[in-house]
Structure 1
Amino acid sequence: MDTTRTPTTSAPVTTPRRVERLVAGQPTSDGAGVKLTRVLTQPLQRRLDPFLMLDAFGSDTPGDYIAGFPDHPHRGFETITYMLRGRMRHRDSAGNKGLLDDGAVQWMTAGRGVIHSELPEQTEGVMEGFQLWLNLHSADKMQPPSYRDIPSAQIPEFNAPGVRVRVIAGSSQGVAGAVQRPRTEPVYLDIHLDAGARFEQALPAGHHGFVYVYRGALQVGETAVPVQRMAVLAQDAAADGVVLQAGEAPARALLIAGAPLREPIAQYGPFVMNTRDELMTAVEDFQAGRLA
């Protein structure tokens, strides 16, 4: 399936956003000991609402990932796993199962609750990718859980001189992404830039957004962003987008933005609700076997 699109000519970004700050991720482990870097941490949840977490994982040492993420629950948000390289098997309590491999995306809406596992289907080689947590509006938190595997070949992408963009969610240069969400309006782009290449992306002024550089280095506005750094984009009512510029070497980055929900965030591990009472109910439902 050929998902390469021809981008439309769009108005140039005239007032690009500046970088508010650079964030270095925190090395940690999760699941059954998977080593990863937590890029978007809990203290940034209000600032980057509706996004709750971004983990980057990558290793060619099987001991860093082989135990995977055995059965664990979620309620109240969506998980988006983007696999750059490697193979990961998903199974959940709603009866879904699927295999993530190179370039694929898993978009899971936990809703009222689901128990799932994510286990590597390889014993050697590189395992590399990202997991993003996207909050749900209070009206959507108790919806039935759902799951979608998006193979790499089904992710729309486009090419321009020196630029290749994979449009996972939202739209870019007139190309609609694989996923659309009406309330949070997420934009999720994987941007590949040749040396010296430039890319512009329009963004609504009210969206919260960030750029995470995972290969090479970029200039975002007037700020140099080195590899493995997240650039939090400043809020400016006059800004109409963001401009990325590669230097003397190729670069790759994620550009992620969305409409803030502006609701209370109450989190206890894998449960994200709006109040403490809702969290207590989530824990009780899990313990009583009432999740999907």
Structure 2
Amino acid sequence: MTQRAIERRLRRHPSQDGDGVKISRIHDFGGGLDPFLMLDELGSEHPDDYIGGFPPHPHRGIQTLTYVLNGGLTHEDHLGHASTIGPGDAQWMHTGHGIIHSEMPLTDSQGLHAFQLWLNLPARDKLSAATYRDVKADQMPRIAAAGSELIALGGDWWLDGEGVSGPLDALAGHGAVAHLRFSPGALTLEQAAATFLLYVFEGRLEAGGEKLEQGELARFGPGNEVLLSGDTHAQALLLAGTPYNEPIAHYGPFVMNTREELDQALRDYRDGTLAQ
């Protein structure tokens, strides 16, 4: 096994989206996280920070994966999908040619805490048919190791020699996503994907011999194994995938390969054909 080292760090920054929803965001539309584009974290005990939600809006050229820790989100789209996810649940949306949807927040005693990940689609799939799926918490397999727990949302994961595959098996870029609840000690995480990212959203961790603080995302270099250690409880999202190495053109909710394709998406949205 070859140990992976951290080759790049990004830190979350405050942003705002939808109807005034306050979020923490990490993004790279230049290909530095390929096939991933953006990770938003919604987290607040104050309803005014998020209650406006995300009224109907379009997308083309991406997939989104939304994962809830506290509270919930209700999804509706022009295809007739309507569902609500709560703590531990996830929803996956393949926007393809186009989708118009809304996401409205729900709250519980701990407020709202959720994530939304954007995955790029390869050029061949940018105009494919749109689809949607949700996955409940009890459908996600888990690995327990040394007091820690890995919850597999999608893709293949190995922790201390044990492997699982998450139910979301159509993530773009052979994507894999997991939630790690870390207890003090040491773990060996095996992941050979060309792109491997770790985002610490609670506490702190040591990964590949370097400390990661809350709010930091690390991209690892080549290899197939990362040693995780620490003396405090922590939580992190794990992301892995295969890059496309294709040009990226981005404007608002649309991600294509060229400026001309973006212009076409805007025209299609204006004339009502984006989501047909």
Superposition TM-score tier, normalisation by shorter sequence? over 0.9
Match of 2:14 in 1: 27
Q: Specify the code of the residue in structure 2 equivalent to 1:250.
A: H
SS in 1 for 2:184: coil
- The percentage of counterpart residues that share the same residue type is 41
8 Å CA contact 2:152, 2:177 repeated in 1: yes
Please list the CA deviations of residues 121-175 of structure 1 after superposition, one character each: whole Å capped at 9, or x if unmatched: 3387410011100011111111111000111111121212222111111111331
Match of 1:258 in 2: 241
The answer to whether residue 78 in structure 2 is matched with residue 78 in structure 1 is: no
Match of 1:209 in 2: 196
Q: Specify the code of the residue in structure 1 equivalent to 2:207.
A: V
Tell me how far apart the structure 1 counterparts of residues 199 and 253 of structure 2 sit (CA, whole Å): 23
Match of 2:250 in 1: 267
Q: Specify the code of the residue in structure 2 equivalent to 1:240.
A: N
Match of 2:24 in 1: 37
Match of 2:260 in 1: 277
How many residues are paired up?
A: 271
Match of 2:136 in 1: 151
Tell me how far apart the structure 1 counterparts of residues 241 and 87 of structure 2 sit (CA, whole Å): 25
Tell me how far apart the structure 1 counterparts of residues 171 and 264 of structure 2 sit (CA, whole Å): 27
Please list the CA deviations of residues 88-134 of structure 1 after superposition, one character each: whole Å capped at 9, or x if unmatched: 11000111111011011110000000000000133874100111000
Tell me how far apart the structure 1 counterparts of residues 105 and 234 of structure 2 sit (CA, whole Å): 27
Give the TM-score of the pair, scaled to structure 1: 0.89
SS in 1 for 2:174: coil
**Deviation at residue 23 of structure 1 after TM alignment:** 1.6
1:42-57 paired onto structure 2 within 5 Å: 42=29, 45-57=30-42
RMSD of the TM alignment (CA)? 1.5
Gaps of 5+ in 1: 1-13
Match of 2:226 in 1: 242
1:123–1:214: structure 2 CA closer, same or farther, 3 Å change rule? closer
Q: Judge which range, 63-72 or 18-27, deviates more.
A: 18-27
The answer to whether residue 206 in structure 2 is matched with residue 219 in structure 1 is: yes
Match of 1:169 in 2: 154
Q: Hey, which of these two has a bigger chunk of strand by percent?
A: 2
8 Å CA contact 1:191, 1:255 repeated in 2: yes
**Deviation at residue 21 of structure 1 after TM alignment:** 2.7
The answer to whether residue 94 in structure 2 is matched with residue 122 in structure 1 is: no
Please list the CA deviations of residues 201-234 of structure 1 after superposition, one character each: whole Å capped at 9, or x if unmatched: 2223xx1121100111111111100111111212
Give the TM-score of the pair, scaled to structure 2: 0.94
8 Å CA contact 1:62, 1:123 repeated in 2: no
Tell me how far apart the structure 2 counterparts of residues 129 and 136 of structure 1 sit (CA, whole Å): 23
SS in 1 for 2:169: coil
Gaps of 5+ in 2: none
Tell me how far apart the structure 1 counterparts of residues 12 and 142 of structure 2 sit (CA, whole Å): 28
Match of 1:9 in 2: none
Q: Specify the code of the residue in structure 2 equivalent to 1:202.
A: Q
Tell me how far apart the structure 2 counterparts of residues 202 and 49 of structure 1 sit (CA, whole Å): 16
SS in 2 for 1:63: helix
SS in 1 for 2:124: coil
8 Å CA contact 2:120, 2:172 repeated in 1: no
